[in-house]
Structure 1
Amino acid sequence: MMKPETKPHIFYDYNRKDVDDATLLKLYRGMLKPRMIEEKMLILLRQGKVSKWFSGIGQEAISVGITAVLDKDEYILPMHRNLAVFTMREIPLYRLFSQWQGKANGFTKGRDRSFHFGTQEFNIVGMISHLGPQFGVADGIALANKLKKNNKVCAVFTGEGGTSEGDIHEALNVASVWQLPVLFCVENNGYGLSTPTNEQYNCENIADRGKGYGMESHIIEGNDILEVYTKLKDLVEDMRINPRPVLLEFKTFRMRGHEEASGTKYVPTDLIDEWGLRDPLLNYEDFLLAEGILSVEKIQEFKDEFKHEIDDNLEIAFAEPKIQSTVANELSDVYKEFQYQEVKENSENENIRLIDAISQGLKQSMERHDNLIIMGQDVAEYGGVFKITEGFVEQFGKDRVRNTPICESAIVSAAMGLSINGYKAVVEMQFADFVTSGFNPIINYLAKSHYRWSENADVVVRMPCGAGVGAGPFHSQTNEAWFTHTPGLKVVYPAFPYDAKGLLATSIEDSNPVMFFEHKALYRSIRQDVPTDYYTLPLGKASILKEGTDVSVITYGAGVHWALETLEQNPEVSADLIDLRTLVPLDIEAIYKSVKKTGKVIILQEDSLFGGIASDISALIMENCFEHLDAPVKRVASLETPIPFAANLESAYLPKEKFKEILLNLLSY
């Protein structure tokens, strides 16, 4: 690290307040170490020894100051340019270097790079590239802290560019409504990649938005380490006593490109020169020298210490062999291992509807798991639009049964945060169609976290779905194929009250993310004798409702009842009727066994045909049971249109009527 030949001035009026000398030196060392690591990384990048680098040079004071005021068991959610968060938490450097090289001593087994990882050991939750969900995850972590009454806060970072994302607006609103103890830290460094701030937002300061959210906010000189440290120290101490969210805008600058390949040609030279004078490390170093707290000799001592540490740890990382894995290892890490524990049903039954079974199963799970939180629109006093949680507030209280603003993405992300901090969450989508507004964190956060850094997502997303009730294009979809396509999610789709109650209990027990589909048309039309007490049923085990020799009928959800009705009207048909019950995991064994017996297969789904799960099941059968087939595999599904509203149009859309025709044609093949 070279200092200018001319003696630099001290740009900032440093105010040490009551900060002792030891802390002043700790802050200096906290900035010096990541600066030296970064300078080494830039050399290695030019040598081709690392593949990519996102530089935080010039912004170290923010990460150092925030991390210094937080306890080590308080979560921090950093971004690309927050290397100092990791070094201040004393993560061994060889592990960071291995992470950046995709080696086994890193945190993601070579499956992700940079700071895209988390570690419970150091209470750090790294980012995903979609940026916005990070704020919602912080909400969930903070909610868990608040429920625990542990007087802890958490801090989450983003850049000024990220604040334009809808997820961040949603999360800020939720944090304000719920008064969650989160430090929302915006590093305003002038450019979102190459886009300057005047092309990103039209308010004077990002902190001004705090007023709109009813949230305390502050503008902080991000390159003045003492301002960052002293202001944050006071804030955090008060937030632990008076929990609330605080929006912080740190004025700073990115001295290098978004990442090194992008360069800085789009930045005016005089702007870079101006901010160069505000270098947080060099200015603070001169201040400490002027105050007699630091000496030239001590600086060199620190540099020698860090140089040896960096070089020694790089040697370890470079010597580490390239990561090796197997297909079995890769597949086994997609989900957290779940040991199914059977809870047998009691002998006392009652005849209840599907909707009652789901409500009962959810209620008994709430009684069984003190750490289970239900979240969704209108789920508290109102009981949800289908009244499944009616009466829950009276029994469990509003801390555990939580109305949410209309912001599916933030709530799914918050559910992930709850899971990280030791809670279970059930999120009710008011209608399965609305999941599109929460698609990003489901697909990119819940589904991928265990594979990426061994962090489970203990979240069940309840999905009231399906047509047949005249609800039109935005309240009638059965969109399970969006999720069966996504590794890391489990997908459950019961057709009967007994199955719904037992499978919901197991889904909540399972610490992997589960999409739990509930067909609205079946809610009040299907009744069954159901055990009154809590019980579980295994995921991935189909139900054989009928046994025959002529044909295998494979279906799930409302399709099960359409198939039953058709077979009852055609008693001459000898059919195996398989109710899949869960789509992921899928009971392949039951499917293959039936196909090998009957030789003919028809797969019925309510979803439209192309890209649905029936296509995948058909392909699996063709690939693995071809020699046992006596006819082509038939798929029956809804029209390739959105779902219409008018009753006659909806009836023509659904596959119920054509199922009989295609079934009989298949039998005569």
Structure 2
Amino acid sequence: MLSSKPQLPLIQFQSERLTRAELIDLYSAMLKPRMIEEKMLILLRQGKISKWFSGIGQEAISVGVTKAMQEDEYILPMHRNLGVFTSRNIPLNRLFAQWQGKASGFTKGRDRSFHFGTQEFKIIGMISHLGPQMGVADGIALAHKLQDEKKVTAVFTGEGGTSEGDFHEALNIASVWDLPVMFCIENNGYGLSTPTSEQYRCKDLADRGAGYGMESHIIDGNNVTEVYSKVSEIAESIRTNPRPVLIEFKTFRMRGHEEASGTKYVPQELMDEWEEKDPIINFENYLLENEILDTDKIQDLRNDFQKEIDENLQIAFAEDPVSSSYSKELEDVFQEFKYEEFTHFNEVENIRFVDAISQSLKESTARHENLVLMGQDIADYGGVFKITEGFTDKFGKDRLRNTPICESAVVGTAMGLSIKGMKAMVEMQFSDFVSSGFNPIVNYLAKVKYRWDQNADVVIRMPCGGGVGAGPFHSQTNEAWFTKVPGLKVIYPAFPYDAKGLLNTAFNDPNPILFFEHKALYRSVRQDVPVDYYTLPFGKASKIKEGTQVSIITYGAGVHWALEVLEEMELSDAELLDLRSLQPLDIDSICESVTKTGKAIVLTEDSLTGSFASEIAAIISEKCFESLDAPVMRVGSMETPIPFARELEKEYLPKDRFREKLQELIEY
């Protein structure tokens, strides 16, 4: 807890083990971001940048950690870590352009401040939700470990961020898997205006390491020699003996959370006492007293930095405002993927839907040596549906990984693997549980390519759907949660043949894919499926039945319900379209069918409000209006959570209502 009169010790710089050049380099590395910040605060008041999160007073942490790491080791910083970027020697004109929303910045004007990454400088920026970068660090570190690289990954968070579930999930995964990660907490006293006394009850945040069986340290975050020396020692130890380490840096935030918030809520005496502990002024005095630097040399450094700042600002200011085009913006949402068709031979076997999924997983894991499969109970146990049973014997536990129950950090880990050039699959034990991992999917995976040109090579498998009496938390079909989000591909097959071919394609595609697998179809639907490897394209619907009377458009279990109803009603002239792929969507096949029949009914297992069926109906109304002989009809489940009792579930699901609605449409 921060008191109004904290007992702050004098900074005791330990330089015996550091050379004169190292000491000067540390001072210079802190001075540069301080001078940039002072300039940015002026530009903020002039309206030339839109927002600023100040790290003044915390430079020793960013600089000390970065200098302690190797240049090819990844760092995941936050808002107050300008010293990370400058210590990695990122060209200032690009940083300034980033903050002004110019094209030569790292996000082409699509995101602001430090919300970006750069593979060139091995820096992976944060998103505003603060927590997901912790899991991403786990993924990068896992890749290092799997590739037998003696590297460490550093990830930053503030004391406020340690309350987020992502923090705890990421520490747990790193601990269980012995991942080489340094979790760096910058404890600067306040989360916006909330003091630490209202954020947590433990004496030191480093104490939390014990709960994860994790080594932890407390370091004076204003003492650059202590930061650099201790972090260097810890990092080298981790490279030799891979494991996670929690480091709490004690420091203080000398300016507002961001400049608009100010610091009126901070007692003035507290500000005064921490101002006396300024990391740069104190270190400068130390270097002067020990005749390591003189005032002339300091002024020379200041002059050089001022010149560099001014010159690079002029480059950024001179750049034209960012511009783009409709097509270019759309092109940058997904990583380019050139579909490669693998055809199969004639040998087939009659297998279940669940077997087709298992075959694809086995074939794709063998084909892609950099693919890691992750999920709860998927290793020796084979998963709750036994889809990966026996996989550990073939691929080992490094590539087939049981995860703790922490969906958010596991998705983040998958993103980190992709950053290191690997592929990842995450099995949600049930698609319902994806809500616990929703944020990194829709805010990290979906947006990362558009934001800073980093793809997310991740497949998330989603066992979904009702009809099995599993109740509200194991029976949802929640595809509409994701079809709304640009940057995600959503696949939803209805047959074993399609499931195998489309899942194989999913693992070839370098973009984030939600792959829905209906549980009720797992063991109830069989089909002749090629025994060898093959692929099917995304965005191409399958015409199950051809006709001219009415177009039935559906996917998943709805395809089988429609087939049953058509047989019961003895309707031989209805056209049945199985979408298979929801994003991308085969709009051409939908319009071709509706234009031919003049009548359309869209069937979904989801409830109708906000459903993907509603989107399809809107597309048909917009594009096929002149061909319609009747209103576009939709059929979905009841507007309630899905119930448990079989009798209630039967009433909830839309099969019987579909029969009535189809008859109504035919007679219209």
- How many angstroms does 1:570 deviate by? 2.6
Report the identity percentage: 70
Aligned to 1:394: 393
Q: Is 1:261 equivalent to 2:265 in the alignment?
A: no
Cα distance between partner residues in 2 of 1:515 and 1:500: 13
Matched length = 661
Matches within 5 A, 1:212-227: 212-227=211-226
Aligned partner of residue 329 in structure 1, secondary structure: helix
Aligned to 1:126: 125
- Letter of the 1:22 counterpart: A
Aligned partner of residue 292 in structure 1, secondary structure: coil
Aligned to 1:515: 514
Aligned partner of residue 624 in structure 2, secondary structure: helix
Aligned partner of residue 201 in structure 1, secondary structure: coil
Aligned to 1:194: 193
Matches within 5 A, 1:615-630: 615-630=614-629
- How many angstroms does 1:10 deviate by? 10
Cα distance between partner residues in 2 of 1:429 and 1:616: 26
Cα distance between partner residues in 1 of 2:16 and 2:211: 32
- How many angstroms does 1:573 deviate by? 4.3
Contact 1:10–1:287, Cα closer than 8 Å, also in 2: no
- Letter of the 1:364 counterpart: E
Aligned to 2:109: 110
Matches within 5 A, 1:595-606: 595-606=594-605
Aligned to 1:491: 490
Cα distance between partner residues in 1 of 2:453 and 2:421: 15
- How many angstroms does 1:572 deviate by? 3.5
Aligned to 1:34: 33
Q: Is 1:149 equivalent to 2:148 in the alignment?
A: yes
Cα distance between partner residues in 2 of 1:240 and 1:654: 55
Cα distance between partner residues in 1 of 2:370 and 2:532: 20
Matches within 5 A, 1:289-300: 289-300=288-299
- How many angstroms does 1:600 deviate by? 0.1
User: Which sections of structure 1, spanning at least 5 residues, go unmatched?
Assistant: 1-8
Aligned to 2:285: 286
Matches within 5 A, 1:576-595: 576-595=575-594
1:503-529: CA deviations, max 9, x gaps? 001011101000000000000000001
Contact 1:553–1:578, Cα closer than 8 Å, also in 2: yes
Cα distance between partner residues in 2 of 1:138 and 1:50: 30
Q: Is 1:101 equivalent to 2:93 in the alignment?
A: no
Cα distance between partner residues in 2 of 1:45 and 1:572: 69
Cα distance between partner residues in 2 of 1:310 and 1:44: 12
Cα distance between partner residues in 2 of 1:384 and 1:215: 29
Cα distance between partner residues in 1 of 2:555 and 2:571: 23
- Letter of the 1:537 counterpart: L
Cα distance between partner residues in 1 of 2:158 and 2:298: 31
Aligned to 1:79: 78
Aligned to 1:6: none
Cα distance between partner residues in 1 of 2:486 and 2:42: 38
Matches within 5 A, 1:476-487: 476-487=475-486
- Letter of the 1:407 counterpart: C
- How many angstroms does 1:567 deviate by? 1.3
Cα distance between partner residues in 2 of 1:110 and 1:506: 32
Aligned to 2:3: none
Cα distance between partner residues in 1 of 2:571 and 2:501: 33
Matches within 5 A, 1:271-420: 271-420=270-419
Aligned partner of residue 379 in structure 2, secondary structure: coil
- Letter of the 1:275 counterpart: W
Aligned partner of residue 665 in structure 1, secondary structure: helix
Matches within 5 A, 1:169-180: 169-180=168-179
- How many angstroms does 1:69 deviate by? 1.0
Cα distance between partner residues in 2 of 1:85 and 1:344: 49
- Letter of the 2:352 counterpart: R
Cα distance between partner residues in 2 of 1:13 and 1:603: 72
RMSD: 0.9
- How many angstroms does 1:571 deviate by? 2.9
Cα distance between partner residues in 1 of 2:27 and 2:535: 56
Aligned to 1:160: 159
Aligned to 1:53: 52
Aligned partner of residue 120 in structure 2, secondary structure: helix
- How many angstroms does 1:290 deviate by? 1.1
1:589-614: CA deviations, max 9, x gaps? 00010011000000000011110001
- How many angstroms does 1:292 deviate by? 1.1
- How many angstroms does 1:346 deviate by? 1.9
Q: Is 1:139 equivalent to 2:147 in the alignment?
A: no
Cα distance between partner residues in 2 of 1:50 and 1:517: 43
Aligned to 1:3: none
Cα distance between partner residues in 2 of 1:345 and 1:493: 22
Cα distance between partner residues in 2 of 1:345 and 1:74: 43
Cα distance between partner residues in 1 of 2:351 and 2:70: 51
- Letter of the 2:467 counterpart: G
Contact 1:11–1:277, Cα closer than 8 Å, also in 2: no
Moved beyond 6 Å, runs of 4+: none
Contact 1:10–1:286, Cα closer than 8 Å, also in 2: no
Cα distance between partner residues in 2 of 1:171 and 1:546: 49
Cα distance between partner residues in 1 of 2:12 and 2:366: 57
Aligned partner of residue 121 in structure 1, secondary structure: coil
Q: Is 1:563 equivalent to 2:551 in the alignment?
A: no
Aligned partner of residue 516 in structure 1, secondary structure: strand
- Letter of the 1:406 counterpart: I
Cα distance between partner residues in 2 of 1:575 and 1:29: 76
- How many angstroms does 1:11 deviate by? 3.3
Aligned partner of residue 67 in structure 1, secondary structure: helix
Relative to structure 1, the CA distance from residue 257 to residue 567 in structure 2 (aligned partners, 3 Å threshold; closer, same or farther) is same
Q: Is 1:70 equivalent to 2:66 in the alignment?
A: no
Aligned partner of residue 427 in structure 1, secondary structure: strand
Aligned to 1:237: 236
Cα distance between partner residues in 2 of 1:476 and 1:641: 12
Cα distance between partner residues in 2 of 1:24 and 1:535: 60
- Letter of the 2:612 counterpart: I
Relative to structure 1, the CA distance from residue 644 to residue 277 in structure 2 (aligned partners, 3 Å threshold; closer, same or farther) is same
Cα distance between partner residues in 2 of 1:346 and 1:363: 18
- Letter of the 1:264 counterpart: T
1:32-76: CA deviations, max 9, x gaps? 000000000011111111111100000000000010011111000
1:404-463: CA deviations, max 9, x gaps? 100000100100001101110000000000000000101101101001111100000000
Cα distance between partner residues in 1 of 2:220 and 2:211: 22
Aligned partner of residue 122 in structure 1, secondary structure: coil
TM-score (norm. length: structure 2): 0.98
Contact 1:349–1:530, Cα closer than 8 Å, also in 2: yes
Cα distance between partner residues in 2 of 1:148 and 1:69: 22
- Letter of the 2:534 counterpart: Y
1:473-512: CA deviations, max 9, x gaps? 1000000000001110000000000000000010111010
Aligned to 1:206: 205
Q: Is 1:611 equivalent to 2:590 in the alignment?
A: no
- How many angstroms does 1:17 deviate by? 2.9
1:542-577: CA deviations, max 9, x gaps? 001111001110000000000111112233441111
Cα distance between partner residues in 2 of 1:191 and 1:100: 25
Cα distance between partner residues in 2 of 1:531 and 1:73: 44
- Letter of the 1:394 counterpart: D
Cα distance between partner residues in 2 of 1:209 and 1:449: 31
Cα distance between partner residues in 1 of 2:436 and 2:442: 12
Aligned partner of residue 640 in structure 2, secondary structure: coil
Cα distance between partner residues in 1 of 2:370 and 2:187: 37
Q: Is 1:447 equivalent to 2:452 in the alignment?
A: no
Cα distance between partner residues in 1 of 2:149 and 2:462: 33
- How many angstroms does 1:129 deviate by? 0.3
Aligned partner of residue 116 in structure 1, secondary structure: coil
Q: Is 1:641 equivalent to 2:656 in the alignment?
A: no
Q: Is 1:92 equivalent to 2:91 in the alignment?
A: yes
Aligned to 1:574: 573
TM-score (norm. length: structure 1): 0.98
